Amino acid sequence: MAKTKITINSNGSVRLEGDFEIVDKSGASYDLGGREIVSLCRCGLSKNKPFCDGSHNGHFEHEAIAFALPPKK
């Protein structure tokens, strides 16, 4: 199985690349049409949720910089 890469884009979407499946809350899979790269909405403005349609441009700010989570309790 190929490794999945998840990129949190500054001021934008979450990009998924590789071998992955996206399911809804009932477990039904989204038909990704053979795509190996998709972007998920983080701003809530997309008309194609959960997928990004670029609606965030100029309306969403978040500088995505990696950090370490505290140890699990």
pLDDT score of 2: 66
Identify residue 55 by its one-letter amino acid code.
S
Position 1 pLDDT exceeds 90: no
Per-residue model confidence (pLDDT) at position 60: 92
Average pLDDT over residues 38-62: 95
58, part of any domain: yes
Other C-beta atoms within 10 Å of 52: how many? 21
Question: 2 or 4, which is more confident?
Answer: 4
CATH number of the domain that residue 18 is part of: 3.40.5
3-35: burial string, b at 16+ Cβ within 10 Å, e else: eeeeeeeeebbbebbeebeeeeeeeeeeeeeee
Domain coverage including residue 5:
1-23+35-64
Please check whether residue 70 lies inside any domain of the structure.
Answer: no
pLDDT at 9 over 90: yes
User: How confident is the prediction for the chain on average, in pLDDT?
Assistant: 95
69 occurs within a structural domain: no
The DSSP letter of residue 48 is T
